[in-house]
C-alpha cells in the first residue's frame, strides 16, 4: 500500500526551501551549592512560568560556542 498523505511542512526551512534545524543551548550553572536559574515568562509558548537553565538559540557563524561561554562569565 502506498502512503498518499502529504508530509507536514518543516517548521524551519533554508532559503532554498530545504528543512533546517534550530539549535538551542540550555545551561544549568551550579557554584558553591547554588544554582543560577531563570523563570520562563508567563507568555512563553513552551513551559510558561517554570524554572529553567539559561540559554537560547545558537546564532549562525563561528565561533558560537565561544560567544556562549563568554556570556556565562
C-alpha cell at 69: 561561554
* Residue ranges of domains in the chain: 25-72
Which whole number is the average pLDDT over 54-63?
76
Q: Give 66's pLDDT tier (boundaries 50, 70, 90).
A: confident
Res. 59: pLDDT tops 80: no
Cell numbers representing residue 31 in the block? 557554584
How many CB atoms neighbour CB 25 within 10 A? 13
5-58 per-position pLDDT tens digit: 766 665 677 778 777 777 888 999 999 999 999 999 999 998 999 999 998 887
Number of H helices, E strands in the chain: 1, 6
Amino acid at each position: 500500500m502506498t502512503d498518499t498523505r502529504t508530509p507536514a511542512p518543516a517548521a524551519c526551512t533554508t532559503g532554498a526551501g530545504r528543512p533546517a534545524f534550530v539549535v538551542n543551548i540550555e545551561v544549568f550553572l551550579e557554584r558553591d551549592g547554588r544554582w543560577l536559574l531563570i523563570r520562563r515568562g508567563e507568555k512563553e509558548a513552551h513551559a510558561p512560568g517554570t524554572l529553567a537553565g539559561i540559554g537560547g538559540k545558537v546564532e549562525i557563524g563561528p565561533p558560537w560556542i565561544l560567544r556562549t561561554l563568554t556570556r556565562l562569565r
